[in-house]
Chain A
Amino acid sequence: MTAGSPFGRALCTPGARAGLALLALLVLAALAGPALLPDPTAQPDVLGGAGLPPGTTHPLGTDQLSRDVLARLVSGARISLTVALLSVALAVTIGTLVGLLAGYAGGWVDAVLMRLVDAALAIPRLFLLLLLLAAWDRIPLWALVVTIGATGWLATSRVVRAEVRRLATEPFVLGAEALGAGPMRVAFRHLLPNALGPVLVSATLGVGNVILLEAGLSFLGLGVQPPKPSWGGMIFDARETMHAAPWTMLAPGIAIAVTVLAVNLVGEALRRATEQGS
C-alpha cells in the first residue's frame, strides 16, 4: 500500500493519524508494559494496600485487592487486543470465503447461503454468544476467540458477495474467463484482490466492535476469566469500589473508549477512502 493509493492517502488525515498514533502507543504498552510493571495478579498487601489513590508507586492506584491498576490495565490491553485481532481475522476469513462462494457461484448456492445468513442475522449476536459460551465452565481464551469469530462473519459475507457480483461482469473478469482461467483462479486472483477494500473497512470497524463486545462478555463473567485481568472484568470488580476509589472504574472504561475510538478513527478514514475512491 503506497502513499499514492486511496488507502494510503486516507491514513494521512489528522483523524487517522491520531488513531494510528494511539494504536501504536497501545500496542507498545501492551508489548513492553508487563515487563516493566508489577505482576497484575499479585496482591501485595490486601489489608493496608487496597484502594490506594494514584501516586508514585502506583500511577493509577490499586484496586480492592491491592493489585496495581496500571499493571492490570496494560495486561488487559494485551488480552483485549489479541482476542479482538484474532477473532476479527477469523470472522473476515470465513466471511470472505462464504461471500466469494455465494457471489461467484450464484444460483442456488447463493440463494441457500444468503437465506441462511439472513436467518442468522435475525438472531441477536449476543444470544448466539451466550448459547455457545455456556458450553465451558471456565472459558479458555481460544474458545472466546473462536466463538466471537464464528458469530461475526455474517455482515462481511454480505459485503463481499455484493462486491463480487458487481465485479463478476467487469471486462477484466470476463476477459480472464474467456482466456480459460478456472473458477478458483478467477475467484482468488481476480475477484478477491479487487473486493478487499470494503473487507478492510468492515474488518477495522469490526475490531472496535469486538473490543466492546469482549468487554461486555467479560463484565458478565462470560469472557476472559479472572484472575486473568481484562477491562470488562475490572469494570465488574469496580462496581463495589467505585465510590471510595473512582480510579478503579475510570481507568478501564477510559482505556476501552480510547482504544475503540482509535480503531474507529482509522476505520472511518478507510471507509471514506473506499466511498470516494475507485
Chain B
Amino acid sequence: MLSRGTAPAADVTRWAAGRLAQGVLTVALAAVLAFVLMRLAPGDPLAALGEDRPLTAEARAQLEARFGLDRPAAAQFAAWATALLRGDLGTSIATGQPVAGLLLARLPASLLLGGTVLLLTFGLGIPLGVLQARHPGSLVDRLLGGLSLTAWSVPAFWLGLVLAALVAVRWRLLPAAGMADPLLDPAAPWAVRAADVGRHLVLPAVTLTVVSIAAVMRYQRAAMRSALALPSVLAARARGLPERRVVWGHAWRNALGPVIALLGLWLPLLVTGAVFVEYVFDWPGLGQLAAAAVAARDYPVVMGVTLVVAATTVAGNVVADLLHVAADPRLRG
C-alpha cells in the first residue's frame, strides 16, 4: 500500500486521496444500485396517499408531476443527483416534508443508541477477550466463549421482547418503549430529561450489546493469542516487566488491528441501529424510518437513508484503515 523511501506525509496524503475517491465512487454506485432496485420492484408510492379515498386521475397526474414520477427513470435519477449536488435531498412523498429534515430528526436517536452499543460492546468485549487469551483453554475461557456464542445465537428481537416483558412490564423497573416519557414536562430541568432518556435507552442498548459482544471477544481473543506468542512479549517478560505492562503495554498494541477493523465494519450501526430492535422498543431511529419508507415506496426517503448508510459504511472502512496504520507503525513504511 504505502511504498518505502518517499516522504511519509506525502505518501499518506496520496493514499488517503485515493481511498476518498474510491469511497465516493462506491457511494455513488450504491445510490445507482438502490435506485435501480427500487424501480424494478413493483409498488406505488402514491397508493398510501389515496388510502381512504381513491385518487382521481387528475389528482394522481398532479402528484406525479409534482414528484417527477411521470418522467423517465433515468431523468428522475439525474434530477435527484443534481439536486443532491446542491445539498437538496428532495421531499418525502408520504409526508411532504423535506427528506433532510426527516433524517436529521431521526439522527440523534440513532447516534445515541448506536454509540452506546459500540461503547459497551468494545468496552466490555476487549477486556473479556484479553482475559480469555491470557488463559486459553481454562474454565474462564471456555465459559466466556460458550456464553457469548450462545448469546450471539439468540434473535435480538426475541431477547428484546422477553426483556421488555420481564423488566418493564412485570417488574416495572424501566420503560418498555420510546425514547422519552410523553407525560414528562418538556420544561423539566435538563438533568431530569436526560435521566429519562437514559432509562429508555437501557433495554434496547443491553439487548443489542448482549447479541453482538461475542464478535468483539472472539476477534480480540484470537489477535491477543497471536500477540502474546510474539518474541517481543517473551523479551518483555524476560526483562522482568510486570505482567500487566506486558499484556496491555506490549502485546495489546499488536492485537489491535482486527478489533479496529471490526469497529470500522460496525460503524454503520451508529446510523442504522438494528431495525428489529428499534421496532420492538419503538426507538425513533433511522432504521424504523427506513423500514417504513421502503414499505411505503417513499422513494426520496429510501434514497436519502441509503445515501447516509452507504457513506457511513465507506467512511467506516476508511477510518478502520487509517486507525490500522496509526496502530501499526510497520504499515507506514
Query: Are A131 and B294 closer than 8 Å at their CB atoms?
Result: yes
Chain A residue, CB-CB nearest to B310: A122
Q: How large is the interface on A (under 10, 10 to 19, 20 to 34, 35 or more residues)?
A: 35 or more
Beyond known contacts A119-B27, A130-B291: 16 more, CB 8 A cutoff: A118-B26, A119-B26, A119-B32, A119-B310, A123-B310, A126-B291, A127-B306, A127-B309, A131-B34, A132-B37, A134-B41, A232-B155, A243-B165, A257-B150, A257-B154, A261-B149
Residue interface mask B191-215, A partner, CB < 8 A = 1: 0000000000000000000000000
Q: Tell whether, in the assembled complex, residue A134 and residue B157 are in contact, meaning their CB atoms are under 8 Å apart.
A: no
- Cβ-based interface call for B161 (8 A): yes
Could you say which residues of chain B place their CB within 8 Å of the CB of A131? 34, 37-38, 41, 294, 302
CA distance A109 to B291 in the complex (A): 34
Contact of A196 with B by CB under 8 A: no
Which chain B residues numbered 76 to 102 have a C-beta less than 8 Å away from chain A? none
A260–B291 alpha-carbon span in the complex (Å):
25
Return the chain A residue nearest B275 by Cβ: A126
Question: Which listed residue (B43, B162, B314) contacts A122, Cβ 8 A?
Answer: B314
Q: Which of A57-65, A180-188, A214-222 contacts B (4 or more CB under 8 A)?
A: A214-222
CA of A126 to CA of B104, assembled, Å: 22
Mask, A180-216, CB within 8 Å of B = 1, is 0000000000000000000000000000100010011
In this assembly, does B152 line the interface, its C-beta being within 8 Å of a C-beta of chain A? Answer: yes
User: Contact check: which of A118, A127, A132, A239 meets B29 at CB < 8 Å?
Assistant: A118
Q: How many angstroms between the C-alpha atoms of A264 and B149 in the bound complex?
A: 8
Residue in A135, A249, A250, A256 whose beta carbon sits within 8 Å of that of B41 in the complex? A135
Distance (whole angstroms) from the CB of B277 to the closest CB of chain A: 10
A242 within 8 A of B: yes
Q: Which residues of B contact A (CB under 8 A)?
A: 25-27, 29-30, 32-34, 37-38, 41-43, 149-150, 152-155, 157-159, 161-162, 165, 169-170, 268, 272, 275-276, 279, 290-291, 294-295, 297, 302, 305-306, 309-310, 313-314
A148 at the interface (CB under 8 A from B): no
Interface of A is mostly: helix
Complex alpha-carbon distance, A87 and B115, angstroms: 33
A38 to B276 alpha-carbon distance, docked (Å): 32
Is B150 within 8 A of A219, CB to CB? Answer: no
- 26 A-B pairs, CB-CB below 8 angstroms? A115-B25, A115-B26, A119-B310, A122-B314, A124-B268, A126-B291, A127-B34, A127-B306, A130-B294, A130-B295, A131-B38, A132-B37, A134-B297, A135-B43, A208-B153, A212-B153, A216-B155, A216-B157, A220-B291, A235-B161, A242-B161, A249-B165, A256-B153, A256-B154, A257-B150, A265-B149
Residue of A nearest to B218 (CB): A268
Is the Cβ of B150 less than 8 Å from the Cβ of A261?
A: yes
Nearest CB to that of B309 among chain A residues? Answer: A124
Find the A residue at minimum CB distance from B161.
A239
Q: A46 at the A/B interface (Cβ < 8 Å)?
A: no
Q: Name B291's closest neighbour in chain A (CB-CB).
A: A130
Residues of A within 8 A of B313 (CB): 121-122
Q: How far is the CB of A202 from chain B (nearest CB, A)?
A: 15
Pair A127/B161 contact, Cβ less than 8 Å: no
